Structure 1
Amino acid sequence: MKLLIKSATIIDPSSPFHNKKQDLLIENGKVSKISKLIENPNKYKEIELENLHISQGWFDTSVCFGEPGFEERETIENGLNTAAKSGFTDVAVNANTYPVADNKSAIEFIKNKGNNSATFLHPIGSLTKNAKSEDLAELFDMQNSGAIAFSDYNKPIANANLLKIALQYVQNFDALVFSFPQDNSIAGDGLVNEQINSTKLGLKGIPSLAEEMQITRDLFLLEYTGGKLHIPTISTAKSVKLIKQAKKNGLNVTCSVAAHHLVLTDDELVSFDANTKVLPPLRTLKDVKALIKGVNDGVIDIITSDHNPIDVEHKKVEYSAAKFGTIGLESLFGALNKVLPLETLITCLTTKPKNRFGIKNISINEGEKANFTLFNPDSKAIFTKDCILSSSKNSVFLNKKMNGKVYGIIANNKVVL
C-alpha cells in the first residue's frame, strides 16, 4: 500500500502531531512521513476529503454478528465490512451464536472467518458452557486460541459462587471477566424502564434496582476475589456512583456504556417501535445526564455501540414479543459527536478500551503502522435506512439527526472508504 493522505487534522493526544493539520505518506503499511506539505512525485494514490480528521483506529468492545447460526441477522463478512465503513479497526465479537462460542474450536472458527479483513476481529468467549450460567466454559483454552475476554452476552450470572470462582480462576492467566448488570429476580419479564412512561403505556418495567443490585453484588465479589472485572453497558445514575466508589476503593473494575444510553430516553417508547426495545432499557433524562457526566469524569471507561442485529421476523412484531437489541456501528459517531467533546469520545473508542483488553495502541507517528479512522466531525445528516450497511435494519437511531460523518479506515494494510 502506497498512499498519500492530504490535509488531515490529527486527533491523537499520544502523537506529537495532535491537533495539527498534516499530510501523511504511507508506504508498505507504515507511516513513512508526516509533514505540513508532502509532494507526490511518484504519483501515489491520494486521499483528500472534506474537513478530514484522523485518529487512532476505533475499537468497539461489544458487537454481535449472527454467524454461526443466525446468518440471516448478520454474517461475519458483512459485519466486518460494516464495522470498517463505520470507522472501527477492531471489534470484540460476542459469543451469542449458535452454537455458543464456549470452546477452543468455536473461537478459532470465528477468528479464522475474520482473516484478511481490514477490521481486526477479537472473539469474546462465553464465560459458561452454552451460556447457561451453570458451569464455567473452557476459558484457558479459549484464551490461548484468541479470546480476549469472557462474557455470557446480556445474560447475568445468577449464581454468585460461580462468578466468584471465575474471578479467582482467571487470575492464573490474567483474563478479563464480564458480568452483565441485571438481577433477573428483580427484572422479571420486564420490557422497558420502570418509570412514568412504562405505567402510561402499560408496558412491564425493569427497575433501575435490578441493575444496581447486581453491580453491588459483583463489586463485593471482586473485592473478595481480586481479578479483573468489566461491567458492560451500565444505564443508571446510581450505577455510575457505585463504580466510581469501587474505583476509589482500588478495585480493578471498568465499565462501558452503550451509545443509545447516552442520547435517548424512555420518552422514545411512545411510538411502540420495537427498535426501542434494548437491554438494559432506555432510562430517564436524569440517567442520561449522569452517564454523560460519568464519561466526561472518566468513571465510565468505554463507549460501545452494543451492535446487535435482529432480523425483521423478530422485530416487526408486537412489543412484548420482539427481541431486545439495536444495531449501532453505523450511527455511533454521528449520535455521540453532538453530546460529548470530540477528544473524550475518541479516547473512549481508542486508548481506554485497547488498554483494558490488551490491544496495542498505535500512535499516529512516523515509523508506526497505519491504523487510522477517517472522519468529518462537522457534517450534518439524518440517519435513514440508506445509511444502514448491516443486514438487519433494527436501528433505534432511525430518522435521528447525526453530527459527523465517518469516511472509513486504513488498517491491516487495507483502505476501506
Structure 2
Amino acid sequence: MNILLKSAKIVCPENKALHLKKRDILVKKGIIEKIAASIETPSGVKTIERKNLHVSLGWFDSSISFGEPGFEERETIDNGLDVASRSGFTDVILNPNTNPLPDSSSDIVFLKERANGNSTNLYPLGSLTINSEGNDLAELFDMKNSGAVAFYDFKKQISNPNLLKIALLYAQNFDGLVFSYPQDGQIKGKGIVHEGDVSTMLGLKGIPAMAEELQIVRDLFILEYTGGKLHIPTISTANSVKLIANAKKNGLDISCSVAIHNLIYTDENLKEFDTNYKVMPPLRTKSDCKALIKGLKDGVIDFVTSDHMPIDIEDKRVEFDNAVNGTIGLESAFGSLNQTFDLEDTIALLTKGRERFGLETPILKEGAKACLTLFEPNSEAVFNMEHIHSTSKNSMFLGFLLRGQVYGVVNNNQILI
C-alpha cells in the first residue's frame, strides 16, 4: 500500500512539532516515509484528498462485542472489524460474550485467527472464570500466552469476594489485568433501569446507584489487600468517580472506563419505552453525566468506550422488561464525543488506553508504522439508519446530531476509506 495524504491537518499533541499543522504524509508499504509541507506524488502512489482532512493516531476502544462464535446473526468478526475501521478505530478489545465463551487458550487463538487480515486489530479478553459462571478461575496464564489481554466475566458481578482475591494474587505472576464488573446483583435484584423519579413514574423496577458503588468499595478493599491490577469497566455514577479518585490517590493500581452513552443520555430518555435505551449499567441522572465528564477531564476515568453491543431485532422489539440490554456505538462514537468535548480532548480520549492492556501505542513520525485515523471534525448530520454498517441496528443515537465525519483508517499496510 503506497499512498499520499494531501494537506492533512495533524491532531497529535504528543508531537508538538506537527500538532495542528497541515502536512502531506507519504506512506509506503505501511510505513510513514515522509511528512512535509508539500510532497510531489511519486510514481505508483495513490493520492488521498478529502475536504478538511484531519489525521490523528489510530483510535482505540476497550469494550467491543460482536457475535461470533454463536451469535453471528448479530455481528460476525469480519463485519464488526469493517465497522470499526469505518468508524475510525484501528484497535479494539473484544468482550467475552460469545457462545462458547472464550475460557481456554484455544478459544483465544480462534478469535485472533478469525481477525487476521483486517485493517483493525482485535485483542480478545478471556473469561475470568470457567464459562463465566463465577465458580472456578479459567486458564488465565495459558490464555495470556495465547494473546488474551485481560480477564473478564462480561457484565457479570464477581459474587464471591475470595475469588476476586485469588484472581488478583494469581494474575500478578504474569502481570495480568483483572476486570470486575461494578454491580451488586443482590441489590440490583430484578431492576432494569436507574432507580429514581423516572423509574417510579414509568413503573419500571429500579437499580440503585448503591448497587454499583458498594461493589466498587468491596473491590477496592480487596485490591488494597492483594495488590495487582484491577480494571472497573463502564462506571455510571458520581460517587463511583469519587471512590476511584480516592483509590488512585492512595496508590492503588486501578483503572476504569465509561460508556459514551452514559455521558450523554439520562433516564429521562426512557419515557418513550424505546428499548434501544435499555443498557447496563443503566442510564443515570444529569448530575451523574456531569460528574462522569468531569472525571474524564480530571483523569480519574482512564478512557471512554463505545460499549458497542449488537443485538438482533427479535431481542429488542419486545416489551421493555424483556428486551436484551445493549446499544451499538462504534459508528456514533466520534460524532457524539465531538459534540461533548472540544476536538483535541475528543482525539485524546479516542487514542488513550492501550498501555493498560500492554499494547504498543502508535507514533506519528517518519519511519514509524502508519496507524492513522482520517476524519473531518466540523460537519454536522443527524445520525440515521444510513450511517449504520453494523448487522444489528440497535442504536440509541438514532436522531442524535453528530459533529464530524470519519473518512477511514490507514493501518496494517491497508487503507479503508
After the TM superposition, which residues 29-178 of structure 1 pair with which residues of structure 2 at under 5 Å, given as runs? Answer: 29-42=30-43, 44-178=45-179
Matched, 1:209 2:210: yes
Shift of 1:41: 4.1
Q: Distance in 2 between matches of 1:70 and 1:25?
A: 41
Q: Distance in 2 between matches of 1:216 and 1:123?
A: 28
Query: Aligned with 2:186: secondary structure?
Result: helix
Which residue of structure 2 aligns with residue 382 of structure 1?
382
Q: Distance in 1 between matches of 2:14 and 2:362?
A: 9
Query: Aligned with 1:337: secondary structure?
Result: helix
What is the letter of the counterpart of residue 237 of structure 1?
A
Which residue of structure 1 aligns with residue 4 of structure 2?
4
Shift of 1:218: 0.5
After the TM superposition, which residues 346-365 of structure 1 pair with which residues of structure 2 at under 5 Å, given as runs? Answer: 346-350=347-351, 352-365=352-365
What is the letter of the counterpart of residue 400 of structure 1?
F
Checking the alignment, whether the CA contact within 8 Å between 1:181 and 1:231 is kept in structure 2 is: yes
Q: Percent sequence identity over matched residues?
A: 59
Q: Distance in 1 between matches of 2:290 and 2:66?
A: 30
More displaced stretch, 35-44 vs 319-328: 35-44
Checking the alignment, whether the CA contact within 8 Å between 2:2 and 2:44 is kept in structure 1 is: no
Q: Distance in 1 between matches of 2:155 and 2:344?
A: 29
- The runs of 4+ residues in structure 1 deviating greater than 4 Å are none
What is the letter of the counterpart of residue 143 of structure 1?
K
After the TM superposition, which residues 207-246 of structure 1 pair with which residues of structure 2 at under 5 Å, given as runs? Answer: 207-246=208-247
What is the letter of the counterpart of residue 354 of structure 1?
R
Query: Aligned with 1:240: secondary structure?
Result: helix
Matched, 1:273 2:274: yes
Shift of 1:43: 5.4
What is the letter of the counterpart of residue 45 of structure 1?
K
Checking the alignment, whether the CA contact within 8 Å between 2:279 and 2:327 is kept in structure 1 is: yes
Q: Distance in 1 between matches of 2:113 and 2:343?
A: 34
Q: Distance in 2 between matches of 1:66 and 1:41?
A: 43
Q: Distance in 1 between matches of 2:42 and 2:110?
A: 44
Q: Render the CA deviation track for 1:300-338: whole Å, top value 9, x for unaligned.
A: 111100001000110000000000100000001101111
Checking the alignment, whether the CA contact within 8 Å between 1:12 and 1:363 is kept in structure 2 is: no
Shift of 1:278: 0.2
Q: Distance in 2 between matches of 1:41 and 1:229?
A: 49
Q: Distance in 2 between matches of 1:328 and 1:97?
A: 18
Which residue of structure 2 aligns with residue 318 of structure 1?
319
Q: Distance in 2 between matches of 1:341 and 1:246?
A: 28
Q: Distance in 2 between matches of 1:41 and 1:365?
A: 19
Q: Render the CA deviation track for 1:223-275: whole Å, top value 9, x for unaligned.
A: 00000001000000000000000000000001000010111111110110000
What is the letter of the counterpart of residue 366 of structure 1?
E
Checking the alignment, whether the CA contact within 8 Å between 1:92 and 1:122 is kept in structure 2 is: yes
Q: Distance in 2 between matches of 1:78 and 1:367?
A: 31
Which residue of structure 1 aligns with residue 343 of structure 2?
342
Shift of 1:347: 2.0
Query: Aligned with 2:330: secondary structure?
Result: coil
What is the letter of the counterpart of residue 405 of structure 1?
Q
Length-normalised TM-score, structure 2: 0.99
Q: Render the CA deviation track for 1:324-363: whole Å, top value 9, x for unaligned.
A: 100000001101111112222222222x311111111111
Which residue of structure 1 aligns with residue 399 of structure 2?
399
Checking the alignment, whether the CA contact within 8 Å between 1:93 and 1:122 is kept in structure 2 is: yes
Query: Aligned with 1:256: secondary structure?
Result: strand
What is the letter of the counterpart of residue 160 of structure 1?
P
Q: Distance in 2 between matches of 1:135 and 1:92?
A: 24
Q: Distance in 1 between matches of 2:346 and 2:226?
A: 32
Shift of 1:19: 1.3
Length-normalised TM-score, structure 1: 0.99
Q: Distance in 2 between matches of 1:196 and 1:278?
A: 18
After the TM superposition, which residues 321-332 of structure 1 pair with which residues of structure 2 at under 5 Å, given as runs? Answer: 321-332=322-333
Checking the alignment, whether the CA contact within 8 Å between 1:9 and 1:53 is kept in structure 2 is: yes
Q: Distance in 2 between matches of 1:175 and 1:347?
A: 25
Shift of 1:404: 1.2
Q: Render the CA deviation track for 1:344-393: whole Å, top value 9, x for unaligned.
A: 2222222x311111111111100001100111111100110111111000
Q: Distance in 2 between matches of 1:146 and 1:345?
A: 29
Checking the alignment, whether the CA contact within 8 Å between 1:170 and 1:227 is kept in structure 2 is: yes
Which residue of structure 2 aligns with residue 187 of structure 1?
188
In structure 1, list runs of 5 or more residues that go unmatched.
none
Which residue of structure 1 aligns with residue 254 of structure 2?
253
